[in-house]
Amino acid sequence: MTAAGWAFDRKAGPRGYGWWYLDALSADGRHGLTIIAFIGTVFSPWYSLAKRGGAAADPENHCCLHVALYGAPGGWAMTDRRRGALRQSADVLQIGPSALHWDGEALTVRIEEITAPLPRPLRGSVVLRPEALSTRAFQLDSEGRHHWHPIAARASVEVTLESPALRWSGAAYFDTNWGSAPLEQDFVGWDWCRAPMPDATAILYNAQRRDGTDQSLALRVGRDGAVTDFELPPPVELPRTLWRIARPTRAEAGQARLVRTLVDAPFYSRSEIRTRLLGQEATAIHESLSLDRFASPAMYAMLPFRVPRPLR
C-alpha cells in the first residue's frame, strides 16, 4: 500500500491546523484508546489565545500527541509543545519524544508522554494495519477551508504499553483533517460516528456551519477501501452528557442507544454506542463537539490543567 494521503509532511498555514486520528476498541470490549497527532492543536487553550491575539498564529508552535486510554487502567495525555519539538517527513511525524511512522504496510505510533492532570508516564507502542486505504477526501465547509479524509476506515490494531502495563488487540480506524482557519470560525459544532461491520464500515458526519447551512454525510467503506454514499438514516437523539452536550446521531428505525461515555468534557464527548446502519447492528464510536462551548472564555481557565505546555 502506498503512503498517498497520509501527508505527514503537510504544512499548516497561519491559524490553520492538521491532525491524524486513530481510535480502537479491544476485541473483548474492555479497553479502548484514541490517539490524535496535532499540528496546530485545535483544542489547546494556548493556541486559541495565540489566534485571539491578532497575530499570524503559528500552528507549528502548538503541536501535540494526544493519547486517551479507556477502561482500566485509564490515562490521558495532551501536552501542547513548541515548534522545536516537531519533525516532519512524508512517512514520519515526530512530536517531542513521540512519533508516528508509516512503513508502507503498517503505522507504528511510539508513545512517550506524561499524563495530566496527575503526572504519570504513558509509554509504549501502537501498531495499526489497514485492511485497505481509501483515496476519497471531503470538503466540510462551503469556502474550502476545512477537509477530511477517512484514510483507513477498516484496520486492526495491536497495543503494547509498558507504562501502564497493558496489551490488547482489536478493530481500529484512522483518518486525517486539515484546515486553514480555526474550527470555531466556520462551525457551530458537529457529530461523527463510525460503525465497523464484517463486510463494510459505516461513517456518519454531520456538521453545523456558521453560515447557517449543514452538511450530512453517510458513507459506506468496503473491504477494498472504496467509499460510497448511502441514504441518510433518520436522526436519533442520544442522552445528553453530564456537561449537557447533545449527542445527535442517525440510525435506521431509530435504533441507537448509549453503551458508555468514554470522554465527557465541557465542549466535547466521545461515546461507545450500539446502532443500526446498512441493515446491521454494530458497536460504534460516536463524537459530538460544541464549538460555541469551546469558544467560551471559561474554557481558557479550565483547559490548562488538562493541556499543559512546557516552558521549552
CATH code of residue 85: 2.40.370.10
Q: Is residue 235 scored above 80 in pLDDT?
A: yes
143 phi, psi to nearest 5 deg: -100, -5
Does the pLDDT value for residue 61 go beyond 90? yes
The reply to whether 151 falls in a domain is yes
On whether residue 189 sits in a domain, the answer given is: yes
Range of the domain at 70: 17-305
Q: Say if 44 falls within a structural domain.
A: yes
Phi-psi sector, 278: left (phi>0), alpha (psi -120 to 50), beta: left
pLDDT of residue 3: 44
Nearest to 21 by CA among 116, 132, 153, 136: 153
b/e map of 37-68 (b: 16 or more CB within 10 Å)? Answer: bbbbbbbbbbbbebbeeeeebbbbbbbbbbbb
Residue 281 φ/ψ, nearest 5 degrees: -85, 145
Average pLDDT over residues 185-206: 96
**What type of residue sits at position 136?**
R
Q: What is the pLDDT of residue 1?
A: 46
- For residue 139, give the DSSP letter: E
Count how many domains the chain has.
1
Over residues 39-50, mean pLDDT: 90
As a whole number, mean pLDDT of residues 127-136 equals 96
In a domain, 268, yes or no: yes
The mean pLDDT value of the chain amounts to 93
Read off the pTM. 0.95
Q: Is residue 42 part of a domain?
A: yes
Helix, strand, coil percentages in the chain from 3-state DSSP, rounded to 5? 10, 55, 35
Q: Quick check: is 142 in a domain?
A: yes
**pLDDT tens per residue across span 260-298:** 999 999 999 999 999 999 999 999 999 999 999 988 777
What are φ and ψ of residue 282, in 5° steps?
Answer: -155, 155
Residue 278 in any domain: the answer is yes
Nearby residues of 285 by Cβ (< 8 Å), 6 or more positions away = 23, 25, 173, 193, 194, 262, 270, 271, 272, 273
The C-alpha cell that represents 225 in the structure block: 477501501
Q: Which residues of 91-117 are buried (b: 16+ CB within 10 A; e: fewer)?
A: eebbbbebbbbbeeebbebbbbbebbe
Is position 12 within any domain?
no
